[in-house]
């Protein structure tokens, strides 16, 4: 598949994706950008890391309890993605 065909296919899949899948794709793309930086792209990497800084802030005990309670509620509703599901979805691409 050529780059243009892949791009077209990905855009079609993105158009049909729900919010959960879009968040996964976004996270994967951000992780790949950080993981595969070359020395010339160091500044870009610093920006990508800076973009994550909002998630890397220290949390107070009440904030942590609230976030954990939300995460547990998501889990109990079955609102999570397994590694197997991510691998299955990524194999389609």
User: Which pLDDT score, from 0 to 100, does residue 12 have?
Assistant: 87
Q: Mean pLDDT lowest for which of 6-15, 35-44, 50-59, 79-88? A: 35-44
User: Which pLDDT score, from 0 to 100, does residue 69 have?
Assistant: 92
Q: What percent of the chain has pLDDT over 70?
A: 75
CA distance 71 to 60: 16
* Residue 36 clears pLDDT 70, i.e. is over it: no
Considering all CA atoms of the chain, what is the largest pairwise distance in Å, rounded to the nearest integer? Answer: 50
Task: Name the E strands within 10-79.
Answer: none
Confidence of residue 44 (pLDDT cuts 50, 70, 90): low
The reply to whether the predicted model has a pTM over 0.75 is no
Query: Can you give the length of the chain in residues?
Result: 93
Beta carbons of 10 and 93 less than 8 angstroms apart: yes
Map residue 92 onto helix, strand or coil. helix
């Amino acid at each position: 598949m050529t780059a243009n065909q892949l791009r077209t296919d990905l855009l079609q899949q993105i158009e049909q994706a729900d919010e959960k899948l879009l968040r996964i794709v976004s996270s994967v793309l951000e992780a790949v950008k950080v993981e595969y930086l070359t020395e010339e792209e160091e500044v870009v990497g610093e920006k990508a890391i800076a973009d994550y800084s909002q998630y890397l802030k220290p949390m107070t005990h009440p904030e942590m309890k609230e976030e954990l309670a939300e995460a547990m509620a998501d889990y109990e509703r079955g609102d999570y993605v397994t590694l197997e599901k991510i691998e299955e979805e990524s194999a389609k691409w």
